Structure 1
């Protein structure tokens, strides 16, 4: 029989993940929230709704968390009526992008109470979440990872073990560092091009199809060129959060990371400018505006 799954965090990613679990036969309990659309849809298809994390834990064998970051995870796990208060063995699968230092500290604390923790952050987009084609990086004890794998495969095309607990979250931060680094570089290059009278279309005509082209570039430029707000649905405030976690990790490792600091600063500028809820490709507009140029109304280069 399939284990009973509790799911907390039915946002853009979580709703698709939970939908796949339910469609593939996993008994599912979801946590009540004021935003009802995803919950109502899942309940209509057979999910059960719990009012508190404790109630959800009592109805579950495995609990998946897909929330913003470590503060939210700790509150759900250890707060009033949290998962721990249920007083029962659980497997907690943290699919959030959390701080590895918090994860590695939390795991032995939970193990002493009979609760196993694996970190299983996600790559790709809500589209792939709904399609069951996410990439998942998994850190944890081998037996816990093996237990989690068939559950993760309900919404993932690739499940990649990374090592001990905390390494999944570390790898996710490195993945995001590279992608946010590309975003910062694209944004600054577009701004400098605009200063020289080079339009985004000229920029794209040189890079697209070259060795510098990639799927991430194409998604970013779908916004730059076509103003597609949904091309890359990841808020800049979350990018800043992740780059802040990276800075914390670098500090704890005694590492000097000037590139990471520069990338973090780019997103700090965007958040300070009130654009934190805008998606990552909008960083190009923030950097352009900070330098007195615009990328929006530049004419397309002549054929």
Structure 2
């Protein structure tokens, strides 16, 4: 059976590795032009084609993956004047790998269904290094028949694939996943700062936590900045973290549930963004909380 033609929009930190694995594993790939030429030119050297607009990509693809920042971008890519919907046809599948607002995803699904286009959500678990290695995880929301079509392409870049349920399920699960991980980030930042206020250094903290039941992969990459000052140990911006926690809060509001912990976590990232630190990475929240508490980085 011939492989679906793949379109890819969003070849950034995560998307480049995903797209690279697709083209290297034999899929005919078309990527969207972008002002950041380095990842696009690399994919073209590997055999990908390039399109100028989402509309053009839709015409050249059977499946289009999106890996962008927010629901606002997803809506523009799909519904815009030169968007995927304008160039799509019956049978096209759009798979949104972003961390998005589930209510937006469901509305888009209804719009696209009117034109015979299927929407699925497959947000990601993992790191840019995992994306390059083809070892991400995917939590998929899709109709069973759509999932069956998508699975071979997702297998090109993911080693763990969980079909959660219908459209929107993946985005809901991803928000819960990020609530946990970003909650860890807020806890670590506050605990490390409190430790310093009472005379315990980050290295003291790490000697106890590392290797204990409280250790995990997220902790290790987070501490890659705190201990080793590796700026790329955990590449996820504070602005994206704040956006994701706003989506978590909105999901809680839509469900009618009070979620005080999620709102407290959201406030930690709001502090970072309002301080002008939004483009720094999540472990650097420790610096923001430390500065507010009067703990200078030079003291660490």
Displacement of 1:87 in angstroms is 4.2
Q: What are the residue-to-residue correspondences of 1:210-225 with 2, within 5 Å?
A: 210-225=212-227
Do the aligned residues in 2 keep the contact of 1:194 with 1:295 (CA within 8 Å)? Answer: no
1:79 matched to 2:80: yes
Superposed CA RMSD in Å reads 0.9
- C-alpha distance in 2 between matches for 1:160 and 1:101: 21
- C-alpha distance in 1 between matches for 2:298 and 2:147: 46
Do the aligned residues in 2 keep the contact of 1:190 with 1:203 (CA within 8 Å)? Answer: yes
Number of positions where the alignment pairs a residue of Structure 1 with one of Structure 2:
298
- C-alpha distance in 1 between matches for 2:6 and 2:217: 33
Q: What are the residue-to-residue correspondences of 1:1-303 with 2, within 5 Å?
A: 1-89=2-90, 90-298=92-300
- C-alpha distance in 1 between matches for 2:46 and 2:137: 25
Scaled by the length of structure 2, the TM-score of the pair is 0.98
Unpaired runs of at least 5, structure 1: 299-303
Q: Which runs of 4+ in 1 moved over 2 A?
A: 294-298
- C-alpha distance in 2 between matches for 1:107 and 1:171: 18
Q: Please, which moves more after superposition, 188-197 or 232-241?
A: 188-197
Displacement of 1:297 in angstroms is 3.2
Do the aligned residues in 1 keep the contact of 2:88 with 2:117 (CA within 8 Å)? Answer: no
Do the aligned residues in 1 keep the contact of 2:234 with 2:281 (CA within 8 Å)? Answer: yes
Displacement of 1:169 in angstroms is 0.4
- C-alpha distance in 2 between matches for 1:117 and 1:233: 28
Displacement of 1:294 in angstroms is 2.6
Unpaired runs of at least 5, structure 2: none
